Amino acid sequence: MTTTTNTHTRHSSVTPPESRFRLRCPRLGPAGWLGALVLLAWLVAAIIGPMLITTDGTPSGDVQVFAPMSVQHWLGTDYLGRDMLVRVILGARYTVCVALVSTLCASGIGISLALLATVSGRWIDVALSRGLDTLTAIPSKMFALIMVAAFGSSVWMLAVTAAIIYVPGAFRIARSLAVNINAMDYVTVARTRGESTAYIMRKEILPNILGPMLADLGLRFVYVVLLLASLSFLGLGIQPPDADWGSLVRENIGALADGSMAVIAPALAIASLTIAVNLVIDNLPGRSARAGGK
């Protein structure tokens, strides 16, 4: 009887392959997976697309400005007769990649400073908090305009500017989470047994704030995309002959009255990217469970 029970227990503890896949795979739901697919598609277009495209879309024959959608030009042409599908794919490397780099830098620096402020003494916490509050007091677009006017609108300067703008927000959210974790008993036990400050930051606090900060990372990515697009629309972002999606809207704004895809396509690209990120964030396992009261 005992042998039969033990054998049954061993067989019950073995997880089928499909169950293991479900455990490893996040439960995003249909809307979340749709957003993830759209986001993945734009990432692939931004990284691999420019490697496969050998032209900037400039026509080799007759030039037709603001041409409608056709078999030759799936999204029509722009104000110079260039293929808009090619222009949108080439613009993705600036909109998506620059925004991703800026967001990762902003969240990484903000979380690191928040952890340092939480586990350090009062004066370090006050100095970091008040110093970053100074940046928060400056409107984001005004700060971006000052940086671009002072240092130019190169790609790296835009990435650095966007990162600096959103460091304070990431810091404040990470600090508010880390302060609560820092007061837990297991953190006190870790200090009692002589663990270093770096160990407490890395092993005790960071894993417990990682979930909410990933959601914040997605939101900041949307903010950075919109900031870079607005700067490009004002003519202060990516400069010709290169262009991001905001620049494409500005260049072809003359076709708005006719409803040409030259201005609609990059606008839809921005909208699809931001909506996709929001769908993924709203359907993260932790957020959906809290929304359902579980």
Looking at residues 66-81, what average pLDDT do you find?
Answer: 87
Query: Helix, strand, or coil here: 83?
Result: strand
Q: What letter does residue 281 receive in the DSSP assignment? A: H
Given a cut of 90, whether residue 171 has pLDDT beyond it is yes
Annotated domain spans of the chain:
29-58+65-291
**Mean pLDDT of the chain, nearest integer:** 84
Please tell me the predicted confidence (pLDDT) of residue 25: 52
Find, among 44, 67, 96, 68, the residue nearest to 246 by Cα: 96
Q: 112 falls in which pLDDT band (50, 70, 90)?
A: very high
**In this structure, how many other beta carbons lie within 10 angstroms of the beta carbon of residue 179?**
14
88-116 mean pLDDT: 94
pLDDT value at position 43?
93
> Is 237 in contact with 270 (CB distance < 8 Å)?
no
Helices (H) and strands (E) in the chain, counts: 14, 0
Cα gap 137→122, rounded to integer Å: 22
pLDDT of residue 195: 85
Confidence of residue 141 (pLDDT cuts 50, 70, 90): confident
> What's the mean pLDDT in 3-22?
46
Judged against a pLDDT cut of 60, whether residue 7 lies above it is answered with no
260-276 confidence digits (pLDDT tens): 889 999 999 999 999 99
> Pick from 277, 285, 163: which is nearest to 218 by CA?
277
Asked: is 29-58+65-291 a CATH 1.10.3720.10 domain? The reply is: yes
Residue 35 half-sphere exposure, CB side, CA atoms within 13 Å?
20
Q: pLDDT > 90: what percent of the chain? A: 43
pLDDT one-digit tens code per residue, 21-69: 444 455 778 888 999 999 999 999 999 988 888 776 677 667 788 888 8
Q: Note the helical H segments in the chain.
A: 2-13, 17-24, 29-47, 49-52, 84-119, 122-136, 140-151, 155-182, 185-192, 197-199, 206-233, 245-251, 261-282, 285-291
- What length is written for the chain? 294
pLDDT digits (tens, 9 = 90+) for 219-245: 999 999 999 999 998 888 888 888 899
Q: What is the pLDDT of residue 87?
A: 92
Q: What is the pLDDT of residue 169?
A: 93
* Tokens read off for 209: 């704030």
pTM: 0.82
Euclidean distance between CA atoms 171 and 267, whole angstroms? 31
SS3 content of the chain, % helix, strand, coil (to 5): 75, 0, 25
Alpha-carbon gap, residue 208 to 217, rounded angstroms: 15
Q: How confident is the model at residue 209 (pLDDT cuts 50, 70, 90)?
A: very high
The residue written with tokens 């409608």 in the block is 68
